Amino acid sequence: MANLPESLFADSSAAGATMSGLDRSVHTDPKVASVVHWIQALQSHETREQALIVLSKNREIRKDLAPLLWNSFGTISALLLEIISVYCLLSSPNLTDRVSTRVSNALALFQCVASHPDTRMQFLKAKLPYYLYPFLSTKNKEKAHEYLRLTSLGVIGALVKSGDPEVITFLIETQIFPGCLNSMKVGCELSKTVATFIVHQILLHDEGLKHCCSIAERFFSVAHVLGQMTEKVAEEPCPRLLKHIIRCYRRLSDNPRACDGLRCCLPVKLTDNTFANQLLVCSSETFPSST
């Protein structure tokens, strides 16, 4: 595979290669055969980096990519090896942008699998989200670390978008809150936004709200981080992030204990006219019922 095609959709000379677990009938479609060619390229160390680039760039175009990735022999293992390989660099200054980008491309393919209805629950039952948590717990703000943090949050975000109670239960049981709260504190604006979105999606479920509010220390940890971000947004406006912050506060107020707690820790910026327009918009929203 020395001369790999540049386009995911280009006709591939490898269209007749062995499928290793994929349905051989895909060879009748040149475009699918090309996807398979790139998936097979993940198995080789020499061709894996380019395959990661091409597949991650085209993951939203090929709607069948997730099942092909999941059902092809050794592909998920190859992606997992890429992710695990960078753990030793998370606490060192030696994580380069190139290595970070390569692993982030592998994480992007994980997000593809986590987003697809045919592979989402298999992804969850394999406990693959566990392997993302180390990226959420790092406090390094350098670009290379931030990219891994953001793409890992993207995978979790894809899971919670489904609204599946089993997903929420899994994330709660595996202690997703500390990773999200850390990302809300140290991440870039986009990471903060995605992490806050995840927290809100979990809170929308009765089990998630109960988990957050059942222990005072846990509730005040969430409230403290939300308060810090509120003060920061007042200085550096970010409407999208503010929207998710307000949504979290609104959902927390549905719990009687949390409502009492908010009386003593609600940011002043939310009680004066600083965010009057945004509060008006959020107050008019109709939230989906909790599951």
Cα-based distances in Å from 9 to 21, 94, 100, 151: 21, 36, 26, 25
Residues ≥6 apart with Cβ < 8 Å to 90: 134, 135, 138, 140, 145
The 8 Å CB, 24+ separation contacts for 259-267 are 261/216, 261/219, 261/220, 261/223, 262/223, 265/220, 265/223, 265/224, 265/227, 266/227, 267/226, 267/227, 267/230, 267/231
**Average of per-residue pLDDT across 102-108:** 97
Q: Which 3 state secondary structure label does DSSP give 155?
A: helix
- Gap between the Cα atoms of 291 and 279, Å rounded: 25
Residue-wise pLDDT tens digits, 161-215: 998 999 999 999 999 999 999 999 999 999 999 999 999 999 999 999 999 999 9
Read off the pLDDT of residues 7-39 as tens digits, 9 standing for 90 and up: 333 333 333 333 444 454 454 566 677 888 999
